[in-house]
Structure 1
Amino acid sequence: MINRLALMYLLSSGLLSGVSSMALAQEFACNAPPPAETSIGGIGYYTDAAHSKVDPRLKAESEAELKPFHDFSDRLTAMTDDYLGKNDQGAGRCALAWLNAWASAGAMLGVMVHTNNDQPDYTRQWTHGTAALAYLKTEALATVEQRRVITNWLRRLTALNLAYWENPKHKRNNHYYWTGIGVMGTAVATHDPDLLQKAKGIYRTGINAIQPDGSLPMEMARKRLALHYHDYAIAPLVLMAELARMQGEDWYAYNGRAIERLADRVAEGYANPSGFERETGVKQAQAKPRGSSGWVEFYRLRTRHPELFDMMHAAGPFREPRLGGDLTLMASRGLR
């Protein structure tokens, strides 16, 4: 049986409206979300100029401080995956209740508490993308009031995240592309053509940075993590292109399909990292794809030579909350 606190949360969030309360409680136990934090902290944990070596103690401290955001993202995307993959409407409604709770509380709209880097801003950008994709996946179940509250919150997060990038000192590397997921997801959710154009500008910045050999100079500078960060940088670009497809636009074709050069470079790097090692002068730290490599599940459906990505695909299934959850599932079922 669901506990009394969780049942009270179900009742207050409207999940039990119009049905038997206890019947739905038995079907899906919707616990309350982590407390909505308005401000964000976090600590930078790289110890070298290339940001390639991690201090385990600092990373553990940062992870502990950011745990509410990670827990929110992990559980939220698990529920939206259950809705998408199993048609578990209880899970979908619970995900919307979580989004509504954080939106109503103004989560992440407060102060970014900087210690030694911009980890708070990055966390807000990542979590915004998670929230926007979660909303798109469950929007069909949302009440009128939930639509209003959640989309208004997503718009406010968008404005704050875009404002961060107005500072010319902020390098527009993979972090800029990851901001684009939240901006693009919000644009699609709100049918806002101006936001769509802002998202397109972010996407094009990423694509225009791709060199003739498929490399990204700012990510190659990450030395032993260069392969990882090329992989990590293409992920939000592919997700943005997929969201554009939902709007009837083909962003994969932009700039002579330059994204193919980057995708091919990553796939070749996993097959044989010698090219990255030759250019960086160091052995690469990442030997195989990980959760954020799940962009390949979408990309292999769009490329003219999907066989190049068979090895990466075989490393799945892939799950990454910052990209919406189970990417293998999302690629097979669609984003909404």
Structure 2
Amino acid sequence: MVKRLTSFFVLALAGHVAAAACDTPPPARIDIDANSYYSDAHHSVIDPVLRAKNIANTKPIEDFLAHVAKDANAGGDAACAVSWLASWGEQKAMLGKLSSEQAYYVRKWTLGGLALNYARVQTQATPVQRAVIESWFKALANATMAHSDTKKGGRNNHYYWEGLAVTAVGGVTGDVRYLDWGRKVFAHAMSQVAADGSLPAEMERAGKALHYHVFAVTPLVMMASILDLHDARLDKVVNFTVAASADPSGIARITGVEQEPVGSREVTLVYNRHEGKAAPAAGKPLWQPRLGGALDVPNPLEHLK
């Protein structure tokens, strides 16, 4: 423990971090304890007790990501964001025991968010900090790919978020292995787009079919921007999702279940930037730590037209 704390303070000093100006990073979460919270076969009805349990167990990881995002974006403390990442990187956070498939979801969402936020402050990191953080990201990406590649069964929105996490790691490290894996995921996703632009796996989610279309397409448009990919099938699924968000009655007719209203501005913000289209109508600034914080501000990894 003494050795670990000593090396962390060396990293902090190397990064010119004023300890008094930056909160002390919390102890890293090595293991992840998370649980599923749906009560029906379509995974569309939430059990509030199980949901509350999952939120409580994963809160330290969610809070860590939220803190890093706050400091990595405008108005924050970039050096503090870097020091927090280096602290958890040195402790090899999230590389221990994962209690369930839900725990793997948490890890990939967190990895993608941390890598996208790191992209905003990467230039503020010292060589020592970069080595620690990027080595940790690669270990997490390797673990994500290994778990994903051994899974059997359908590939749905979770596969796309795994693709985004690994792609973001490729973006900040320059390692083509991760970029190539992201292209594989993106290509598979495009092969799933139906003639009407829907995603069959997400249409199976009953009353959450619209919700999960937005949730699935969001990582796909960010991956397309990072990898600078253009695909007519992506255009089709984006158009389907945005139209369904504006008028859910079509999906409701197909599924036979009324849909929860879901906005799609996070999709159009990233997609339009990459495609050189007009920005969607202005609204409340969008903030999503899992996507790099302020969505209205392009991420350094995005390719803009």
Q: TM-score, normalised by structure 2?
A: 0.90
User: 2:63 maps to which residue?
Assistant: 71
**Cα distance, 1:166 vs structure 2:** 2.0
Q: Does residue 194 of structure 2 align to residue 200 of structure 1?
A: no
Match of 1:4 in 2: none
Q: What is the deviation of 1:9? A: 12
Matched, 1:154 2:137: yes
Alignment deviations for residues 202-235 of structure 1 (CA, whole Å, 9 cap, x no partner): 1111122111111000000001011111011011
Cα distance in 1 for residues equivalent to 2:161 and 2:268:
16
Q: Alignment partner of 2:25: what SS?
A: coil
Partner of 2:3: none
Change in Cα spacing, 1:195 to 1:288, as seen in structure 2 (3 Å) is closer
Decide whether aligned partners of structure 1 residues 141 and 18 sit closer, same or farther in structure 2, where only a CA change above 3 A counts. closer
Question: For the residues of structure 2 that align with 1:111 and 1:137, how far apart are their CA atoms?
Answer: 30
Deviations 1:39-71 (A, max 9, x none): 111111000000000011110000000011110
Report what 1:282 is aligned to. 257
Query: Is residue 301 of structure 2 the alignment partner of residue 327 of structure 1?
Result: no
What is the aligned length?
298
Provide the C-alpha distance between the structure 2 equivalents of 1:10 and 1:39, rounded to a whole number of angstroms: 20
Contact 2:226–2:301, Cα closer than 8 Å, also in 1: no
- 2:146 aligned partner, one-letter code: A
Alignment partners' CA distance in 1, 2:9 and 2:274: 44
Query: Which ranges of structure 2 fall in alignment gaps of 5 or more residues?
Result: 1-5
Q: Distance in 2 between matches of 1:274 and 1:328?
A: 29
Aligned CA distance change for structure 1 residues 273 and 138 (closer, same or farther; 3 Å): same
Partner of 1:39: 31
User: Does residue 105 of the first structure (1) align with residue 91 of the second (2)?
Assistant: yes
For residues 189 and 182 of structure 2, the distance between their equivalents in structure 1, rounded to whole angstroms, comes to: 11
2: distance between equivalents of 1:161 and 1:328? 28
Q: Distance in 1 between matches of 2:107 and 2:258?
A: 32
Aligned counterparts, 1:139-288, within 5 A: 139-244=122-227, 250-252=228-230, 254=231, 257-285=232-260, 287-288=261-262
Q: Give me the whole-angstrom Cα distance separating, in 1, the residues matched to 2:301 and 2:16.
A: 29
Cα contact 1:46–1:52 (8 A) shared by 2: yes
Q: Which amino acid aligns with 2:23?
A: N
Q: CA deviation at 1:167?
A: 2.5
Code of the residue aligned with 2:142 in structure 1: it is A
1:122 aligned to 99, 105, 118, which one? 105
Q: Percent identity?
A: 35
Amino acid of the structure 1 residue aligned with 2:235: E
Counterparts in 2 of 1:243 and 1:304: CA distance versus 1, 3 Å = closer
- Measured in 1, the distance between the counterparts of 2:79 and 2:139 equals 23
Q: How far apart are the structure 1 equivalents of 2:11 and 2:23?
A: 11
Distance 2:52 2:237 in 1: 32
Instruction: Check conservation: 1:50, 1:222, Cα contact below 8 A.
Output: yes
Q: 1-side partners of 2:245 and 2:282: how far apart?
A: 12
**1: CA distance between counterparts of 2:194 and 2:16?**
57
